[in-house]
Amino acid sequence: MKPHHKKDPAAKLRLAITLAVILLFAPAFQLSGFAPWKLFESGTLNHLFIFLGSFFPPAHSADFLHEMGLATIQTLAMATTGSLLAMLIGFPAALLSTQALSIPLLTAGRKRAARWLGVPLLRSILLLLRGIPEIVWALLFVRAFGLGSTAAVLALGLAYGGMLGKVYSEILESQPKEAATALAASGASRWQIFSHALLPQALPELLSYSVYRWECAIRASAVMGFVGAGGLGQLLDTSIKMMNGGEVGSLLIVFLLLVTGTEAISQAARKALEQSTGKLFLVAASMVAFSMYWLWSDWQQAFSTSNQLFTYLYDFFPADFSAAHIALVAKGTLETLAISAVGTLLALFGGGLLALPAAGRWGKMPKAIARLWLNLLRGVPDLLWAAIMVLAVGLGPFAGTLALALHTCGVLGRLFTETLENADPQPFNALICSGSSRLNAFCYALMPQVAAQWVAYTLYRWENNIRMATVLGLVGAGGLGQQLYFTLSLFQQQQAATIIIAMLGLSWLVEQLSLLLCKRLG
């Protein structure tokens, strides 16, 4: 007896929604320079395969390995000292701006504390610090101090200081208030309330987030060299420009090991935090001391020219708000948004396709291969993908779109795989047993279970990609980053100031979008 197939009653509605989405994305495809046929042109493929083939065997001469080892140590030292500077900025800022230490709030039971005028100013400064991406800070400091690790340390310190100030403040405000209220009622000072009531409660969470931020700093330090801020990124940038595939292959291996290793180091630090805070502080202090010793000569050289910084900053004012330049920045902003949207859309389809075999639905071998691809795609940073894509398809937004799509495909594919693994298999098996094809069983049994999570993950990644798309242009991949790089290279600081303001506006938009999504998604 043949199974009875009914026509899908919602097919027309789904088709209409799909066509509407395609129409909405049409301008974004145009702005992002979407031209997949470029990848299949004989010259492009030949050029790309020759370059990728030159990765093997990876360079392993003694001199290069020595240079790569020094760059790796420099990268870790930049991340460590940059994180320390961020804490020195973020911690006092959090103490000054948090409502958790407001004595009137604790004693009078008010809902909001009366703030002194400096708090809004302080919070605005923190927003400014974290609103400019760390690699843009690095580019600015490279122009002011010259090539080297000083730019990376200052960039990490300022950008992450803004983030830590906000997060530390929120952590303090989320703690139980009974002990702080009792101390405030007995006449204790703000410092006594902090040291005896809030700090003992919040310390594990404060340290845990600091370790996480250090892990992020290692990943960021590894790519800051693309703008001349030292470390592995600078070595990789030089190797790519010299088309030395063997060196690029070796550096990619170190990149992947470093990025993977940060997760293991972070987990070890969190475990040490649970067992002994004193030992963790001792290890952290030793690492900071070694890092400062390692970078000291760079700092001496950079700060010998520090008097140039104020002259350099002065040249950014006033920003160029001429109609012609505003139109150019508006085009770059739209291009940045289009790169993020199309890159995320491509990653949605790619991640979904790779998630099926990665979840083990096509057997063990496809599962292992799909997971290996996903690890490779997300293990290579966006900026590195952008540099490789520029070599493949040339300068412009299409390279940025492909870079975001490749990296995000790895991230979304991994997240989608987990949702498929956690989905209830019984509806799928029931449809297969009733004669449905595997495609229909997937569409009508599994997709309804995972669709909401896939949409939430995709929107979350799009939020991240908007921020990332602003800086991909620093390696020639279009958008605001490319405009900023050109203006700074031509010493047009006033035009660069306008572009930085646009980046801040986009960053503010991302924060508001994130808040809105958090409320909508619960």
pLDDT digits over 413-434, tens only? 988 988 888 888 888 888 888 8
Question: Does 4 have pLDDT greater than 70?
Answer: no
Euclidean distance between CA atoms 339 and 401, whole angstroms: 5
Euclidean distance between CA atoms 142 and 229, whole angstroms: 7
| Short-list 100, 98, 164, 84, CA closest to 126 | 164
95-128 pLDDT, tens digit per residue, is 988 888 887 777 766 555 555 567 888 888 888 8
The pTM of this model reads: 0.80
Q: What is the mean pLDDT of residues 129-148?
A: 85
Q: Please tell me the least confidently modeled range out of 210-224, 264-278, 453-467.
A: 264-278
Sequence-distant (≥ 6) Cβ neighbours of residue 183 within 8 angstroms: 192, 193, 196, 197
The alpha carbon of residue 184 and the mean position of all alpha carbons in its chain are separated, in whole angstroms, by: 40
Euclidean distance between CA atoms 105 and 102, whole angstroms: 5
DSSP at 474: G
- Residue written as token pair 């410092």: 191
Q: What is the mean pLDDT of residues 300-320?
A: 80
152-168 pLDDT, tens digit per residue, is 999 999 999 999 998 99
- The CA–CA distances, whole Å, from 214 to 158, 221, 394 equal 14, 10, 34
Euclidean distance between CA atoms 515 and 365, whole angstroms: 41
Euclidean distance between CA atoms 50 and 454, whole angstroms: 37
| Short-list 246, 266, 248, CA closest to 83 | 266
365-409 pLDDT, tens digit per residue, is 888 899 888 888 887 888 888 888 887 788 889 989 999 999 999
State the pLDDT at residue 517: 66
Q: What is the mean pLDDT of the chain?
A: 83
Considering only CA atoms, give the Rg of the chain. 25
State the pLDDT at residue 412: 92
Q: Burial code of 208-234, b = ≥16 C-beta within 10 A, e = fewer?
A: bbbbebbbbbbebbbbbbbbbbbbbbb
Cis amide leading into 9 (omega within 30)? no
Question: Does 74 have pLDDT greater than 80?
Answer: yes
321-374 pLDDT, tens digit per residue, is 999 999 999 999 999 989 988 999 999 999 999 998 888 877 788 888 998 888
State the pLDDT at residue 227: 83
Helix/strand/coil percentages in the chain, nearest 5? 80, 0, 20
* Structural domains of the chain sorted by starting position, each given as residue range(s) with its CATH number in brackets: 20-54+316-521 (1.10.3720.10), 64-315 (1.10.3720.10)
Euclidean distance between CA atoms 429 and 431, whole angstroms: 5
Euclidean distance between CA atoms 6 and 38, whole angstroms: 42
Q: Is the backbone of residue 113 left (phi > 0), alpha (psi -120 to 50) or beta?
A: beta
